[in-house]
A and B are shown apart, each in its own frame.
Chain A
Amino acid sequence: GDSVTQMEGPVTLSEEAFLTINCTYTATGYPSLFWYVQYPGEGLQLLLKATKADDKGSNKGFEATYRKETTSFHLEKGSVQVSDSAVYFCALSDQGFQKLVFGTGTRLLVSP
C-alpha cells in the first residue's frame, strides 16, 4: 500500500540556519503530496501542497518540489526562526486531498 518515509528527528538548528527535512513516498498512482505542521498542543495545519510532478508548493518561506523520478517531496526553508519549532508531517493522498497517509513526523527545534 501507499506509504511515506520521513527523516527521523529531532532536527536541531540555530536561528537563521537552512532547513531540509527529507520525505520519500511509495504510491501506486499519482498522489497529491502535502506538508502539515503541528505546533505544541494544537492540531495539524496544512503548510503546503503539490498535486502533480514538478509542482512546487510554498508557504511562509517553506518550499517543497514534487519529484516523481525520485519519489520525493523534501521540505526546505532558507532561514528558520524559533517560531518554526514544531513537528512536521509529510503526507500523500491518491484521492484528491482526502484520506491522507502520513509519515511519522520530524520534530524541529530551533534555538536563538
Chain B
Amino acid sequence: DAGVTQSPTHLIKTRGQQVTLRCSPKSGHDTVSWYQQALGQGPQFIFQYYEEEERQRGNFPDRFSGHQFPNYSSELNVNALLLGDSALYLCASSRGQVESPLHFGNGTRLTVT
C-alpha cells in the first residue's frame, strides 16, 4: 500500500519563475493538505483541498495556488518565486472526516536562486 508520494524530490528555480509540485495521496484518502517547512522551522499550513475545492487556507499570498484532481491527487503552484520560498514542501493526506490523522509525504525540496 503506497503512502503519500510527492514529485519531484528536489527542484532548483530562479527568482521570478513559476513552479508546480505534485502529490498523490495515500490509498483511500480524499483530502490533501500542503505545508511549507523552512529550514530549522516547523511546517506551516498553506491550504487544504477536498472534493476538488480549496477548503481552508493559511496565511500565504495568492502566489500560492493549488488544484485537486478527480483522482484526489493534487498540485501546488507558486508564481513569481522569491528567495524566501526556498523550503521543503510537504503534502499530507487524510480521509475526509475531521478526526482523520494526517499522513505526510517525504516532501519536495525547493531551492530558489
A41 to B103 alpha-carbon distance, docked (Å)? 15
A4 to B45 alpha-carbon distance, docked (Å)? 14
Interface size on A, residues (CB 8 A): 24
B44 touches A (CB below 8 Å): yes
Q: Mark out the residues of chain B between 97 and 111 whose CB falls within 8 Å of any chain A CB in the assembled complex.
A: 97-107
Q: Which residues of B contact A44 (CB under 8 A)?
A: 43, 90, 92, 104
Nearest-Cβ distance from residue B32 to partner chain A, whole angstroms = 11
Nearest-Cβ distance from residue B24 to partner chain A, whole angstroms = 13
A49 to B106 alpha-carbon distance, docked (Å)? 21
B106 touching A43, Cβ below 8 Å? yes
A104 touches B (CB below 8 Å): yes
A105 touching B42, Cβ below 8 Å? yes
Q: Which residues of A contact B48 (CB under 8 A)?
A: 98-99
Measured CB to CB, the residues of A under 8 A from B are 4, 32, 36, 41-46, 49, 51, 89, 91, 95-105
